[in-house]
Amino acid sequence: MPNINDQIQSIVDSNDVVLFMKGTPDFPQCGFSHQASQILRYIEVDFKGVNCLETDELRQGIKSFSNWPTIPQIYLKGEFIGGADILRELFQSGELFTTLTEKGIPFKAPAGAQA
């Protein structure tokens, strides 16, 4: 069984968009995780939700993997983007759409959003 770091690395390498969260997109168990998955769903981005509450090893492992102390965490094409706050800020500023476009990740820009 590969160590937790390698497991996380393979998840982010094999999925364009990954949301490490508490709970699942359908049953989020934390307000910030819910907010992050809502944003991704609103702009119709396909993403893999990973429930970090399943094992403590994953819950702690993700924090050291990214050197980021909280969950949720968002990865685009293997690159760590940030947590719920940064995703919300990028969404509100429109920078998220630029980043998604640059990385070739399909999404549906809301009406009136500047890309």
Alpha helices in 1-115 (DSSP H): 4-14, 31-42, 56-66, 84-93, 95-102
Q: Closest separation between CB of residue 70 and another protein, Å?
A: 5
Instruction: Give the interface with another protein as residue ranges (CB under 8 A).
Output: 31-32, 63, 67-70, 80-86, 89-90
CB nearer to another protein: give 81 or 105: 81
How much of the chain is helix, strand and coil, in % rounded to 5?
Answer: 45, 15, 40
CB nearer to another protein: give 67 or 114: 67
Q: Closest separation between CB of residue 69 and another protein, Å?
A: 4
Q: Closest separation between CB of residue 54 and another protein, Å?
A: 18
Q: Encoding tokens for residue 63?
A: 């924090």
